[in-house]
Amino acid sequence: MITPFTLFTWVVLTLSTYISIYYLLMYLEGGKREGLPEEEPEVTIAVPAHNEKGSIYRCLESIYGLDYPQDKLRVIFVDDGSTDGTAEVVKEFVKKHADLQVLMVRHRKNKGKAAALNTALKLTKTPYFVTMDSDSFVDPGALRELLKCAKGCAVVTPAVIPARSDRRFHRLQAIEYVYGNYLANLLSGFDAQMVAPGPFSLFNTEMLREVGGFDETSPTEDLEIIYRLREGGHRVMMNYRAVVRTETPSSLGELIRQRKRWHLGFFDALEKHRGFLVHRSEFGAQTALKALFFSISAAFLILFIWGTYRGFLPVYTFFKAVGLDVLPYLRDLQLKFDLLGIDPQVLLYTSITIVLTLFFIVASFRKSEELHIRPLDSIIFLMSYGFALSVATVLAVVSWIRRDYKW
Amino acid sequence: MVKRAVAAAFLTALVFLSGLSLGFFWDTLRTQRSEQRIDELVVYSSALFLESRLIEDAGCESLRPVLDEAMEDLSEALQRYEFYTKQSRVNLDSENLLYRRYLMANLRYWFFYKEFKERCGLNSTIVLFFFGPDCPDCDVMSDRLTLLKKKYGGDVMVFPINMELAARDPVANTLKSIYNVTSYPSLIVNGKKYGYLEKKELEGLVCGGTC
């Protein structure tokens, strides 16, 4: 019989099929690139940091290693109330690399990353402004790549990949990053890029000032800024060949916390710019799809709990009835495959989504020169990663409803 | 963008509908399979029923080999029937006719075993198991009886009667009044009625020292 559980499953699976098909159609269409190259303009790189003693030196070194004329680079380091001696590390760096122009600014109190970026933006005198997370490391060619399509764009975003891939946990995240970069690149072809990642996004200083800089109340200012730039009618591009590496969470708890903040940032931006949900543009469609995606993600967790509860009752009855006398069952165990026992409908919906997801994973790894796919990882990824993200989504929804914006 | 959204919606609808049709097609196959299994049982049990009338002439020994095999088919057919009815989109058996056919076959088996036990001294315990809807204790008893069947094989014969599905069945109702069944679960063992039993009690009752 069709139970509410069955119906709910169908709805959720059909909606996720819709998303997969929509992306497949985008993939088949291909999109087109716009944006013109710039000749070596002057660029300011803003590096906000709050207690990043461990990574700041390497971060600044990667900036120093950029393939770009030293005299056209300015670095503004904003110490956002660090108490761990980050500033001392930076001073030491500056002493050793006197040929790089570094301006050091300090917030006496921790004001948050958006505020730190705004401080740097005020001091910026160059036509281009690059944000740089202090836990990230940029590849030497990245800046030139970003500038290749900077003219006429408000933002050019890079491809972000994890700095570490020695542990499986980081490699699983790498799959998501590579996949995410691929989709961002696809979206960029339709002028629908959705986020300007904290590590090494290149902004047009004028346009950024025009919309008022970064939102200091947003959990994710790098996502929110895109919405305001779009409202201002500006273009956002991605250059897949500009590579920046970032530190990624090392534990599941840390990962879930990070994602909770990201998702919360999206909900917050959605609330502030809800007009985009029904905006007749590709960016509007992507906003709606992303909202749909999060709903499905949360629904999956509900389905999982609901299904476990449904499956729990027979198991409980069984153990109540039989106790630990399970040996006769094990002796009698026969593997009987009953084709008619399978539900072909759910199987069809699920396999279409899985096949299309795998297709995009494979496509993104083929495009990426950085990492090579490991079949075992991608299976684990499909099975477990989505689950962890569902948990983060639900936590984010709860925080959003409760207006609990601490992270 | 609008075109793509509409095209995606169209394709998704196509996927949804093909899934749904495939599901309905599957249900037809399931019904057919269930019907076929139950038909086999009906034929087989009718034969047994006739043979029980002939025990005196045919002799006990000639019937013994068919017993164990027959029981296995019986419980498997019921399991499949129950599973398919639960999984299917439409009610496979809205008038419960299929179930009643199964029940008829089941009761013929029961009849045959009772007869065989009396006349030929079969060493098995025969259990008639009445259960009804919304009855957690029935589920527990059902699991316990399954365990005993697995443990002792042909020494324990269980004949379940789902009174929800057999509510309009005259034979089931006659049996119910013969044994004065007023609540579920009810077990009839050696002509006596029992209600819910703990695992040890049930095992002792059913085996009665023989196993």
| Structure confidence by residue, pLDDT tens digits, B85-97 | 777 777 767 778 8
Task: Indicate if the pLDDT at residue A407 is higher than 60.
Answer: no
Show Cβ contacts of residue A344 under 8 Å, excluding neighbours closer than 6 positions. Answer: B19, B22, B23, B25, B26
CATH 3.40.190.10 fits A1-333+341-407, yes or no: no
A341 and B83 within 8 Å at the Cβ level: the answer is yes
> Rounded CA gap, A22 and A30, in Å?
12
3-state SS string for chain A = CCCHHHHHHHHHHHHHHHHHHHHHHHHHHCCCCCCECCCCCCEEEEEEECCCHHHHHHHHHHHHCCCCCHHHEEEEEEEECCCCCHHHHHHHHHHHCCCCEEEEEEECCCCCHHHHHHHHHHCCCCCEEEECCCCEEECCCHHHHHHCCCECCCEEEEEEEECCCCCHHHHHHHHHHHHHHHHHHHHHCCCCCCCCCCCCEEEEHHHHHHCCCCCCCCCCHHHHHHHHHHHCCCCEEEEEEEEEEECCCCCHHHHHHHHHHHHHHHHHHHHHCHHHHHCCCHHHHHHHHHHHHHHHHHHHHHHHHHHHHHHHHHHHHHHHHHCCCCHHHHHCCCCCCCHHHCCHHHHHHHHHHHHHHHHHHHHHHHHCCCCCCCHHHHHHHHHHHHHHHHHHHHHHHHHHHHCCCCC
Of B1, B4, B139, the CB nearest to A317: B139
All residues at 6 or more sequence positions from A161 whose CB lies less than 8 Å from its CB, including other chains: A174, A177, A178, A181, A243, A244, A245, A246, A368, A370, A371
Residues composing chain B = 211
A349 touches chain B (CB under 8 A): yes
Mean pLDDT over residues B139-154, rounded? Answer: 86
Q: Flag whether residue B89 sits within 8 Å of chain A, measured between CB atoms.
A: yes
List all residues 6 or more positions away from A347 whose beta carbon is below 8 Å from its beta carbon. Answer: none
Query: Residue written as tokens 């040996």?
Result: A327
A324 touches chain B (CB under 8 A): no
**Nearest CA-CA distance, residue B76 and chain A, Å:** 11
pTM for the predicted model, two decimal places: 0.85
What is B123-211's CATH number, 3.40.30.10, 2.30.30.100, 3.40.50.300, 3.60.10.10? Answer: 3.40.30.10
Looking at residues A186-199, what average pLDDT do you find?
92
Confidence of residue B66 (pLDDT cuts 50, 70, 90): low
Name the more confident of A228 and B204.
A228
Q: Are B65 and B4 in contact (CB under 8 A)?
A: no
The pLDDT value given to residue B83: 77
Give CA separation, A322 vs A172, A331, B198, B211, in Å.
41, 15, 10, 18
Q: What does chain A come to in residues?
A: 407
Confidence of residue A42 (pLDDT cuts 50, 70, 90): very high
Alpha helices in chain B, H assignment, sequence order: 2-53, 55-58, 66-87, 97-120, 136-152, 170-178, 199-207
Amino acid occupying residue A88:
E
Identify the band that residue A212 occupies on the pLDDT scale cut at 50, 70 and 90: very high
Dihedral angle computed from the Cα positions of residues B186, B187, B193 and B199, in that order, rounded to the nearest 10 degrees? -100
Contact (CB<8Å) B4/A26: yes
pLDDT digits (tens, 9 = 90+) for A99-138: 999 999 999 999 999 999 999 999 999 999 999 999 999 9
C-alpha of B182 from chain center: 21
Q: Can you tell me whether residue B87 is helix, strand or coil?
A: helix
Residue B124: strand, helix, or coil: coil
Query: CA nearest B198 in A: which residue?
Result: A321
Alpha-carbon gap: B88 to the closest alpha carbon of chain A (Å): 5
- Tell me, yes or no, if B134 comes closer than 8 A to chain A by beta carbon: no
Task: Check pLDDT > 70 for residue B70.
Answer: no
The answer on pLDDT for B211 being more than 60 is no
- The answer to whether A28 contacts chain B (CB < 8 Å) is no
Distance CA A234, CA A191 (A): 10
What is the structure's pLDDT at A96?
93
Is the pLDDT confidence value at A366 over 90?
A: no
What is the token pair recorded at B113? 């075993």
Q: How many C-beta neighbours within 10 Å does residue A29 have? A: 13
Residues of B in contact with A338 (CB under 8 A): 80
pLDDT of B71 reads 61
Cβ-based contacts under 8 A for chains A and B: 98
Domain ranges of chain A: 1-333+341-407
pLDDT band for position A385 (cuts 50, 70, 90): confident
Considering only CB atoms, which chain B residues are within 8 Å of A18?
8-9, 12
State residue A56 phi and psi, 5-degree precision: -60, -35
Cβ of residue B200 closer than 8 Å to a chain A Cβ: no
Are the Cβ atoms of A14 and B84 closer than 8 angstroms? no
pLDDT digits (tens, 9 = 90+) for A82-106: 999 999 999 999 999 999 999 999 9
The residue of B1, B14, B81 whose CB has the most chain A CBs within 10 angstroms, and thus the best one to mutate to test that interface, is B1
Res B192: pLDDT? 86
Give which of A280, A325, A330 to mutate to test B binding, by max B Cβ within 10 Å: A325
pLDDT mean over B15-42: 88
- How much is the pLDDT for A268? 93
CB-based contact A147:A197 (threshold 8 Å): no
- Is any Cβ of chain A less than 8 angstroms from the Cβ of B9? yes
Q: Round to whole Å and give the CA distance between B50 and B193.
A: 28
What is the DSSP-derived secondary structure letter of residue B90? S
Q: Which residue of A has its CA nearest to B150?
A: A328
Query: ipTM score here?
Result: 0.85
Q: Which of B40, B99, B100, B49 has the alpha carbon at shortest distance from B73?
A: B40
Which residue of chain A has the CA closest to B197?
A321
User: What's the whole-number average pLDDT of chain A?
Assistant: 90
Contact A225, A143 (CB under 8 A): no
For residues B150-169, average pLDDT: 85
* Dihedral sign computed on CA atoms, order B183, B188, B193, B195: negative
Q: What is the pLDDT of residue B32?
A: 87
Q: Which residue has the tokens 């009396």?
A: B118
* B1/A285 touch (CB, cutoff 8 Å), yes or no: yes
Answer yes or no: is pLDDT of A80 > 90: yes
**Segments making up each domain of chain B, as ranges:** 24-122, 123-211
Closest CA in chain A for residue B28? A340
- State whether B139 and A321 contact (CB < 8 Å): yes
Cross-sheet strand order for the sheet of B156-162 = B156-162, B125-131, B186-189, B192-194
Rounded CA gap, B166 and B78, in Å?
Answer: 14
Residue B70 CA to residue B59 CA, distance in Å, equals 19
Give pLDDT tens digits for A287-319: 999 999 999 999 989 999 999 998 898 888 888
Between chains, do B26 and A343 touch, taking CB under 8 Å as contact?
A: yes
B5, B20, B151 ranked by CB distance to A285: nearest: B5
Contacts with B48 (C-beta within 8 Å, 6 or more apart), sequence order? B66, B70, B108, B109, B112
Task: Say yes or no for a CB contact (<8 Å) between B15 and A10.
Answer: no
Q: How far is CA A352 from the centre of its chain?
A: 24
Q: What pLDDT does residue A334 have?
A: 66
